[in-house]
Amino acid sequence: MPIGSAFNSGLEGFNRASQGIERASAEINRASIEQQDDAQLAQQRQLTAARSEEAVTAPVAKPARIDEALVNLKVEEFNAKANTQSIQTADDVLGTLIDINV
């Protein structure tokens, strides 16, 4: 495998990992906002029910997408580190080849 190919593969992998990190971060942010909105809605229901003396039912919880997003964030972190190591290794090999040919 040519050195340039190893650099390009590492760089492409790192870019994909960066994009995955951005997606996971956006999903975490979105899930956090939705959870805050759900909590505010539940509080409003409780206040309304307390005023009208109706039975208060617990809100139905949405599936926790934040857990999946956190896992994806960690996976992409490992992908970024692995691709960084690939780039570093290609750089070391290139340095060694230059030293040998000098």
Confidence of residue 4 (pLDDT cuts 50, 70, 90): confident
Whether residue 54 contacts residue 16, with contact meaning beta carbons closer than 8 Å, is answered with: no
Whether residue 11 contacts residue 91, with contact meaning beta carbons closer than 8 Å, is answered with: no
Is the pLDDT at 24 greater than 80? The verdict is yes
Lowest mean pLDDT among 25-29, 88-92, 98-102: 98-102
Residue 18 CA, distance from chain mean position: 9
Q: Alpha-carbon distance 15 to 82, whole Å?
A: 12
Place of tokens 């934040």: 66
For helices 65-101 and 3-52, the axis angle rounded to 10 degrees is 160
pLDDT in tens, 29-86: 888 888 888 777 887 787 777 666 554 455 555 555 888 999 999 999 999 999 999 9
Residue 55 is predicted with a pLDDT of 47
Q: Alpha-carbon distance 56 to 98, whole Å?
A: 74
Is the pLDDT at 91 greater than 60? The verdict is yes
pTM (whole model) above 0.75: no
